[in-house]
Structure 1
Amino acid sequence: MDPIERRLSELGAALPAPIAAPPGVALQLRFVTVAGSSAYLSGHGPADGPRRLARGKVGADLTVEQGRAAARQCALAALATLKREFGELARVRRWIKVTGYVNCTPDFEQTPAVVNGFSDLIIDLWGDAGRHARSAVGVRALPFAVPVEVEAVVEIA
């Protein structure tokens, strides 16, 4: 078994179904683009295949902890896409950059705490190779009213 998936299982988590193109949208973009040894991962929301697992605005509809849980679901969705693309998660050598977008109220100032839900899982799985540069940005709205969307750049074998 892939060591990353084994660790994921030890943490009591499982990969969801990989995301697919949204209904009515022609898939003209890629979920992962590889350039040299870098893979650029498109934004992922909290999803299991086509099903959205969370909706709402952090600071109004959702608490920081609920936003954090949604960010963790974003990580699982991103991992499902990486597994589909590369066959095994162990091909990801290290995480380089993560950008998290938090759908939040204008006065919400805890975007880093929300995006920690993504980062903490990645670091739990990859250890030091999971430590990454990161931005956590508050936005007025996200597609399908998801509370968090995260994109990343990883180094691959």
Structure 2
Amino acid sequence: MPPRLIICERTPRWLAAWRRALPAASWNWLTSALSLTQCEQLLREHPGSVAAVSVSAENFAVALATLHRWQNELPQVRTLALCSADISRQPTAVALLQEAGVLLAIDRTQQLPAAARLVRRHLRRQAAIQLPLPDAVWQRLPWPRLALNASPVIN
């Protein structure tokens, strides 16, 4: 199954913000999960996905342990932390999240454009891995969008 951006949170706050940050054509990447268990099930169904996990003071210990386990058990998965204000103000907490494999810790919706670029790049790379080698190389080169002919010339 194709990789996804899985938003793991109990409220729709971050899901709505991600819809504003991503172009409408990318909305088919979005999936939501209400719990870490449901998120893990989706990650196993969609290898190579990105999990954006809501982290607050209430679930910090459980989320940290789960993210650390995912780093070992699901090496293709990339994770983002959608932090509450109290977690983001604690440098130790953010450092622990990064050590558990979190690529980016976000606490404000204004930080989503950078996270969206990271997610788009990762999901495009995951899609390219499934292509035959010549097509995968061609897709990653900078000039296909400037070329007159969209397909590579292979003899």
User: Would you call these one fold, judging by a TM-score over 0.5?
Assistant: no
Structure with bigger helix share is: 2
Structure having the higher Rg: 2
Q: Which has the higher contact order (CA 8 A, sep 6+)?
A: 1
TM-score computed with the length of structure 2 as normaliser:
0.31
